[in-house]
Amino acid sequence: MPATDEDIIRDLLHRYTDQVRPPASIAAEVAARQRRRDRRRVATLAASGAAVGTAAGLIAVVPGHSSPAPGQKPPEIRLTADQRILYHLSSAAARQQQGQGRYAVMSTEGTDVTDTSVIDSRTGNMWSYQRGTDGTPSGKSYSRRYSPTAAQFAAMPTGRAALRAALIAEWKSATKPAPHPVRVNGSKGSVTLVPRPVIVSDDDMVFQQASYMLWNPLVGSALRSALYKVLAAVPGVTVNPSAHDSMGRAAVEISRTDDSGLPGGKSDKITYATYENPATGATLESTITYPPGSDVVTPQDPHGNHTVVDTTVYLSTTWANAVPADPYGG
Amino acid sequence: MDRRQTRAFEQFCAESGAELLRIATLLAPDPHTAEDVYQETLQRLAARWSRVDNPRAFCRRVMHNIVVDHTRARARRPELRLIDARDTTDPRSADPHHSVELWPSLRAALDSLTVQQRTVLVLRYFDDRSESEVAGLLGISAGTVKSTASRAIAHLREFPGLAAIFTTTDSMV
């Protein structure tokens, strides 16, 4: 039996909570949500930097697109079927009007999470409202300078070569891949883990960076249009014009599996895909597919032994002149 | 947060999640808010995972800040509270220390403390941290921790529904 007041308090506090157990899904859900945020942040940080001013004189890095000599006829450019689809998307995006209003209100659905993000086009600050589900309570958060401003996006280059170079440069400045531990067998049979730098190819950087930026409603029509053209020139891009997103909406699926990402430049086999509205070029859904053994764990797969698909569905984007109240009543 | 950081984060949550939610339950006015506080704490931790040296201490500081924010928000916008549906018919109620009839009183007593008093009490007597540790976490002096804890205990001693426990113990000593 407790003897002092402190002991009584201690006893009461422990007894009062001894049945409390957190739903196992919360930690995995928070981690998944953070991965999605990091994906966006990589893009947005890069865009911020690029908006500061990419050298207009950066020369074409796209293979086969050097300038013709004076008096020489420019080489004929033949587009593949996939490239033609992306150019159609580029045209569709270029025709879209930017929404009217200071705040972009974006409703998204991730794996077991539905949330509404409000992004201030002038400051890049973001309010995020999350609807609770079984095992995931509702919540809200606020991030300062989460996204570049609309003006910063508008200042980015739209020439294909300059934009590609900007995406690579900013990916490098915004993303520092952690060293990857590699098993090394010693001469006496010992095994040690040695950190080795991860190598990421330019094409991986460009695809990840460009596809990440497409979701952001602050990206204007000119930049969005240019991003599709950049994607069209990245080797390994697969385009499916007859795809549907997970909501059943008709979509153009643009996907690519990394050709690097591990020490020595070996592929990590992670596939990035973005589903675009064929009529407007707006992003409907994005997914990242991690192969087994990618160290991505979920409540259902705590050891990361299976393929994990991380999905974000973009349900709607509207514009407002004031920050809306929490739509989930939080 | 890369893949290995994700795994480390989830490992931390698996090891410390229950303890964190218990602390949130004691700090927050109801179980739903406690889960909100718990999740928001993890969210903030995840966002800073690579820069946080001591996640356990970080979570306690963050929880305190979140509860302060919640309390201020609630003061500005009072909300309708549902009746606590906790079971109060526990057959063990003959023993005052086992009685779940205490829980509504304890909840009400905790709610009647200031956020700082509640946090000090929880960190001192639930989390078993020293006065200097609590002082470091909350950014106050050790003397303030001591006096705050003392005032909080005195308040609980007098609180209706809890006073009997202290009285019972007094008579047994």
B91-103 tens-digit pLDDT: 333 344 444 567 7
**Same-domain status, B8 and B74:** yes
pLDDT at position B169 is: 55
Does A178 reach chain B within 8 Å, measured CB to CB? yes
Per residue in B23-46, pLDDT (tens digit) is: 999 998 888 888 888 988 998 888
Phi/psi for A133 (5° steps) reads -135, -175
For residue A298, what pLDDT is reported? 58
CATH of the domain at B148: 1.10.10.10
**pLDDT of A122-135, one tens digit each?**
998 888 887 766 55
Residues of chain A neighbouring B4 (CB-CB closer than 8 A) = 178, 295
In single-letter form, the type of residue at position B85 comes to A
Q: Answer whether residue B84 is part of any domain.
A: no
Please give the pLDDT value at position A79.
73
Is there a single domain that holds both residue B104 and residue B71? no
Nearest CA in chain A to B149: A6
CATH of the domain at B2: 1.10.1740
Domain boundary residue among B32, B52, B79?
A: B79
pTM of the model: 0.55
Q: Is residue B27 part of a domain?
A: yes
Name residues of chain B where pLDDT drops below 50. 78-99, 173
Of B4, B43, B165, the CB nearest to A141: B43
A71 pLDDT exceeds 70?
A: no
Domain stops at, among B48, B79, B110: B79
Using a CB–CB cutoff of 8 Å, tell me whether A122 touches chain B.
Answer: no
Given B79, B102, B133, which residue is the final one in a domain? B79
What is the structure's pLDDT at B87? Answer: 38
Tell me what the pLDDT averaged over chain B comes to. 78
Residue A261 pairs in a beta bridge with A267
In a domain, B122, yes or no: yes
Compare CB distances from B6 to A12, A26, A31 and report the shortest one's residue.
A31
Regarding whether B65 and B31 lie in a shared domain, the answer is yes
Q: What mean pLDDT do residues A135-141 have?
A: 60
Contact between chains at A21 and B18 (C-beta distance less than 8 A): yes
Are B122 and B171 members of one domain? yes
Residue A56 has a pLDDT of: 28
Average pLDDT for A219-238:
94
Whether residue A305 contacts residue A294, with contact meaning beta carbons closer than 8 Å, is answered with no
d(CA A57, CA B101): 76
Q: How far is CA A266 from CA A234, A269, B156, in A?
A: 18, 9, 63
The domains of chain A are located at 25-60+80-320
Report ipTM (2 d.p.). 0.79
State residue A219's pLDDT score: 93
Domain assignment present for residue B120? The answer is yes
* Residue A60 confidence class, pLDDT cut points 50, 70, 90: very low
| Torsion on CA atoms B137, B139, B144, B149, rounded to nearest 10 | -30
CA–CA dist B72, A324 (Å, integer): 20
Q: Which residue of A has its CA nearest to B44?
A: A141
Percent with pLDDT over 90 in chain B: 17
**B65 within domain boundaries:** yes
CA distance B30 to B26: 9
Overall domain count for chain B: 2
Nearest CA in chain B to A12: B97
- What pLDDT is stored for residue A141 in this prediction? 72
Does the pLDDT value for residue A44 go beyond 70? no
Parent domain of B68: 1-79
Cβ-in-10-Å burial (0-12, 13-18, 19+) of B165 comes to buried
Distance from CA of B35 to the nearest CA of A (A): 6
Same domain, B75 and B103: no
> B13 and A37 in contact by Cβ < 8 A?
no
Question: Do B106 and B171 fall into the same domain?
Answer: yes
